[in-house]
Structure 1
Amino acid sequence: MAYPATVLRVMIASPSDTLEARDAVENAIHGWNNANSENKQIALLPWRWETSSVPVSGGHPQSLINSQGVDESDIIFALFGSRLGSPTPGAVSGTAEEIERAIEQGKPVHLYFSSASLPNDVDVSQLEGLRQFRSEMSKRALLGEFSNPSQLEHEVWKAIEHDIPHLAVDISQSEMAPNGVQFLVQPKQERELQGADKNGKPKYRTNYWLEISNTGDRIAEDVVFASAGVNPTMTVITSGEPTKIHAQQTRRLDVAYMMGVGEKILRIQWVENGVKKEEDFYVG
């Protein structure tokens, strides 16, 4: 059954010698989704350059991976085996560049280094570069280790559980971001007893008005109302003096309708944070 969820993208970054580790991170993500997604209404979407990136021209491949992967992700997992990776125009390796870019953007970045036995064909220069990079990063971050894919899955799960509460706060704050003045206009009417005619039958008059609510979170200042449209058949009964409508406040605006074919459109003009605004509402 379908359910609403906030989708968070998780980038898996690494040199080319960590295929099993990359699969382990993705398995951990899917496992977390199966156990938590519906209950917490959060879904994690793994992003791997080899399966998720879109082939496109217009820049160095690493810069394109940065824009598609790093910039659009919420969490980054960086994995290292025995290689640092190939250098890029801006960093000692593509993975190192992705890490730096994510850190600059204030995103959670988790670095894990393999403690498994080195392969027989290890590239000594790559290994030395990796050790130097790890030494430098140890001064700026708390680093993790893994000896096998199963242990890495466990570590990734822990990291996700650490990140989600902080990211959930960011999500809730963005959902509560100011939405400004939001007008809701609803036509209303009622019959009012006006006495009786000469035969004693009750006489009624129909009163028409519009309920105008500011459902937003900002005050609307210098608010004025007017009929608009071609051949308007609605008259706004107002003093013409500007007024204020505070957030979550409702005002009554009396109107009169005329016979004939025409439009019933209310035009609201107001000032919001010093900016003049205008919106038309069809009310009949």
Structure 2
Amino acid sequence: MAIQTLTLSVLIASPGDTAPDRDVVEDAIRSWNSDHTMRRKIHLLPLRWELGAVPLVGQGDAQEVINAQFADEADIVIAVFNSRLGQATKRAVSGTAEEILRARDRGAAVHVFFSDAPIPRDHDPEQLAALNLFRKEVQEHGLTGSYASADDLKAKVRTCLEHDAYKAGNLGGGEVDRSRSRPGAVLRSSYTWENEPKQDSRGRVKMRRTRQRLLVENLGEVAAENVELEMSPVGEGNNPTALGELTALRIPPKSSVNFPIALHMGVARQGTIVHRWTEAGTPFSEEQTISWT
């Protein structure tokens, strides 16, 4: 039987030195689809210019062709940088930068990540300097992300996709929107912590995470009652340790509750949270992807 879904296109934007990272982002998109498309009726379509661009002559320079086919159409843009900014265009400091700025200016969801992995020994110093300058400029206009490894990038991209899919579902007819013909509770979880300095045996000061919590917010218009949470890992690893019952009698609208948790060795980088609650005796449930990094 045919399934009607809301399709969101996701452009993977990056310079030429990030081919492995581009594969990681696409894997995160396909993984999200595998976990959510059937249930939430939202499908994410990965776009990569090197795989899907149609060659055209007489339609502007190469970047303008890519813009027309991808950057100016994508609902979501995931941009990743390693040690290069890329080749400058007639309109921007690089093709990837142009894609980011055009998508941002038309109101698309844009997520920009910079690698914190060791710089390759054969890197181009001029490219790295240009990238660092662009990073500072982007940070003046919003929050950017960083990643230390492929697993770290995948987990953080999944979190971005969850945010965008949830918003699209509310605005564009996804499962969340169809199930909400009236005002209701909307529960969203996030991992929070505080940093505390700690001195090691050599006198070096390092920051450690303390007061780790699972923050559950009710973004809706109605109180959520008899709240129960269920955690499960995504991929290899275990759940964080809950330091108490993951239940709450009531979460009023526009308020939140904290559940103390502890992360330990072997915890999965990412997990899912199933929220279950009632409104005037009627049961509801929603699932969310969460990053523990």
Task: Quickly name the TM-score band, shorter chain normalised.
Answer: 0.5 to 0.7
Distance, in Å, in 2 between the alignment partners of 1:54 and 1:149 is: 29
Shift of 1:21: 0.7
Matched, 1:63 2:64: yes
Counterpart of 1:33, as a letter, is N
1:133-144, aligned counterparts within 5 Å? 133-144=134-145
Structure 2 counterpart SS, 1:117 = coil
Alignment correspondent of 1:37: 37
Distance, in Å, in 2 between the alignment partners of 1:172 and 1:43 is: 12
Shift of 1:70: 1.2
Matched, 1:26 2:39: no
Q: Deviations over 1:101-144 (max 9, x none)?
A: 00111011000000001111110000000000001111111111
1:171-250, aligned counterparts within 5 Å? 171-172=172-173
1:64-83, aligned counterparts within 5 Å? 64-83=65-84
Q: Deviations over 1:4-37 (max 9, x none)?
A: 2111110000000001110000000000000000
For structure 2, list consecutive stretches of 5 or more residues without a partner in the other structure. Answer: 179-293
Shift of 1:81: 0.2
Distance, in Å, in 2 between the alignment partners of 1:53 and 1:170 is: 29
Structure 1 counterpart SS, 2:11 = strand
Q: After the TM superposition, which parts of structure 1 deviate over 3 Å for at least 4 consecutive aligned residues?
A: none
Structure 2 counterpart SS, 1:43 = strand
Matched, 1:8 2:8: yes
Shift of 1:76: 0.2
Alignment correspondent of 1:130: 131
Alignment correspondent of 2:49: 49
Alignment correspondent of 1:108: 109
Identity %: 43
CA contact 2:79–2:111 (8 Å) conserved in 1: yes
Matched, 1:161 2:166: no
Alignment correspondent of 2:87: 86
Shift of 1:170: 3.0
TM-score by length of 2: 0.58
For structure 1, list consecutive stretches of 5 or more residues without a partner in the other structure. Answer: 177-284
Tell me the matched-pair count: 175
> If you compute each CA radius of gyration, which structure gives the higher value, 1 or 2?
1
TM-score by length of 1: 0.60
Shift of 1:63: 0.7
Shift of 1:2: 3.6
Distance, in Å, in 1 between the alignment partners of 2:109 and 2:21 is: 19
